[in-house]
Structures are given as structure tokens and as C-alpha cells.
Amino acid sequence: TLRNGQRQITAILVPGDMCDLEAVLCGWADCGIMTLTPCIFGEIPLEQIADPLQQGPELARALLSQLLRDQAIASERVLSLGQRTALQRLAHLFCELQERLQAVGLADEDGYDLPLLQAELADLTGMTNVHVNRTLKEMRSQNLIRWQKGRLSLLDRPALARLAEFEPAYLRVP
Amino acid sequence: TLRNGQRQITAILVPGDMCDLEAVLCGWADCGIMTLTPCIFGEIPLEQIADPLQQGPELARALLSQLLRDQAIASERVLSLGQRTALQRLAHLFCELQERLQAVGLADEDGYDLPLLQAELADLTGMTNVHVNRTLKEMRSQNLIRWQKGRLSLLDRPALARLAEFEPAYLRVP
DNA sequence: CGGTTTATTGAAGCCTCTCAATATGAGTGG
DNA sequence: CCACTCATATTGAGAGGCTTCAATAAACCG
């Protein structure tokens, strides 16, 4: 959050993701975490993760894998914020969430639950809630999405992916 | 790079940084790397790094450390691109580079060599080369910086940091 | 010194923001 | 079941930041 109250959401986590790696491994956090829905989460004791090499290769490998994926996602977000239009930014976010949620069984072929406010979408994509609203309207009018009662339907995924120049390869980290 | 030719530079490396971790560890790259100056670089053989846990704790710890720092920097860039103004984005970048270069002995108290084109600053900060030019002019007129012959002088670091809301803590990863 | 790259400046236009008003919806208490 | 209230969504009008296009100036380089 900046002094003037503007907020940027730097990441969005789906079930299965680890969070707070930086905070735990570095001993301090430069951002907070909040939940969008009721959540079930597991805690990894600090001692176990603070020196991951003591714990056998599985944990360290999982850590590395998660960090690499987070970084790929962050890079893609930088590209979005720097170069894509508002319409493309939203389309890209929707495509990314489709892939990530589908990977953990929380999306089917045509959509997923998206328990977000428009204002939160705005903070994710670096735009105003007003402009998010207008952009969503534009997406609806192009029959790209439907969003009702917290359920987002991607009506034309190929068109969305083309519009956003969404290339899912960056999500496939071993 | 997007289809229309717009380019986003997602990271900038200073001497001592590792690069291409994702490419090596995942076996593919979603972006390229280019040098700004003649460079000396070391190569770590793929076999040594592909399974970092086989190589004793030092390498793995260095890897983790670098990844965490990269991520902190990426998050900060997301914040910049999403929420800061053009002036703040440039100021923040200049402050960050001051810290990072000073940490490796390549900057003194009042500035450093910055072998970049304005167009490259534009691709870093998500703006147009034209607007970079105008924004630099504004910074000069406020006596914040001087930039001559590849040497960038930060004339008023406190003012720059205040303007950009630059908090160097995110760079201090153990 | 000529030629090419880079920087600078102007003018016009568009995307996005800001401010503000209205509408819709969800939850609550009567 | 309905009125009330608060949060969220929607829409309009105007302003501003940044972009685009284009032209000129400056710097670099063989």
C-alpha cells in the first residue's frame, strides 16, 4: 500500500500454493496476506523450513519449485502491468486463474468460482474499480465472459487467450 | 515481447547476480537475456545446479537467497508498475539501482554509471521513450538527478526516496 | 565529415482516472 | 414478508497522464 492509499496486490494464491516463503526464510515480510474465502491451511514449523537442507531433498525441491513458479508468475504480471491494456490484463488474469485452478481441480472447462470484488480485481491489475467495471462490461459485450454470483464463466477461452497473448507454458514448472 | 512489438524488461542484473535460474532448473526460458556492457560471467554447469541438493548446502543456500531477492524485487516492480506514477517509477528504479550497485562497490554516495538508453528505461518502467524523456527532464528541473555521458548522479537521494516511497528493506535478503 | 543512432520537443488524441450520482443487491430487524 | 441500511456495482461527465505521430536537434562512430 502506498501513502495515498493505493494498493497493489502482488500475488494471488490458490489451494496448494505455499505462502510467505520470503517472510519465513528472511525473517520479515514486506507485504501482508489476507484470505478471500474461509481457508484451510497447514503450517510448516519455522525450524523445519528455516534450514531446508537439513530436511532431506523433498522439502527443498518443493521449495525451489514453488519459488520458481512464483517468479514466473511475477514476471508475467510485470509484463501485464507494463505492456498490456486493461482488457488484456483482465483477460490474462482470468486465463491464468483458469489454468491454475484447473490444475488443482477447482475449475472445470468453462470457468470457476471467483470470490473477488471488482475493487480487488482493480488492485490486482493496477486499475481503478470504475475502469474494471467498464472493462468487464466490454468483455461481457464481446461474449468473452459471464460473471454471476461469484461464478466466472470463460465463454471463449481461445479468444481470451489470443486477446491476452496468454501462453500457459510459464505455469508449467516441474 | 508482445505481438505488437512492445517489450517489457522484467529484471535488471548487476554484477554478482545469478541469472537464468528458471531456465536452468526448469529446462526452458520464457525470456531472453542481453548484456548492456561487456561482461565477465561465470558458468555453473547444468549438472551441478540441476540437483542443487547433491552439492552441499552452500550452493543451495545461495540459490534460495538469490531467488528470494529476485522475488522481492519483482514484487516491488509490480507495485511500481501498478500504482506509481511515471516520475515515481523512474525515481524508484534509480534508488534501487543505487542500493544494489553500492552493495557490490559499483556506486559511490552520489551516483553510478548507467549504460542505458532512454528507450530501455522505457521498457523497464512500462512507459514510452518519449515520456521517459519528458519525465527525466522533470527530474532534472527539480534538481533530483543529473545524467551525463552514462553517469547518473542522484543529487538528492532523500527527496528521490520520498518521492518514490522507496524502502530499501526489501533488498536486504540474508 | 557524413551518416546513423539517440535525444528532444510539439501537437493531437486516447486510455484511464477522478468525482459524483444512481442503481442493484445482500443482509437485518421489525 | 417488507422496509431499511450498507456495501457493491453501474453509469456519466470532465480532466489528466501518457501515447502516438512527426519533426528537429544532438550525439556518436567509422
Which of A30, A31, A126 is facing B81, going by the closest CB pair? A126
Q: Which residues of B touch A11 (CB under 8 A)?
A: 75
pLDDT-wise least confident of A145-154, B12-21, B82-91: B12-21
Nucleotides of C under 7 A from a protein CB: 6-11, 15-20, 26
Give strand ranges (E) for B12-133. Answer: 107-108, 111-113
pLDDT above 90 coverage of chain B, percent: 68
Residue B85 has pLDDT above 70, yes or no: yes
CA angle at A101 for the pair A83 and A154, rounded to the nearest 5° = 65
What b/e sequence results for B132-167 when a residue is b if at least 16 CB atoms lie within 10 Å of its CB, and e otherwise?
Answer: beebbeebeeeebbebeeeebebeebeebbebbbbe
C5 C1': nearest CA residue: B117
Separation in Å: C24 C1' and A160 CA: 28
C-alpha cell belonging to residue B91: 525515481
Note the pTM of the prediction, 2 decimals: 0.94
A149 touches strand C (CB under 7 A): yes
Give me the pLDDT at residue A20, please: 79
Which of A21, A31, A82 is facing B8, going by the closest CB pair? A82
Rounded to a whole number of angstroms, the distance from the CA of A23 to the nearest CA of chain B is 10
Chain B, 85-104: which have a CB under 8 Å from a chain A CB? none
Asked if B143 reaches chain A (Cβ–Cβ under 8 Å), the answer is no
- With cut-offs at 50, 70 and 90, classify the pLDDT of residue A72: very high
Residue B50 has pLDDT above 70, yes or no: no
DSSP code string of A93-108? HHHHHHHHHHHTT-EE
Count of other CB atoms within 10 angstroms of residue A41: 10
Which amino acid type is present at position A18?
M
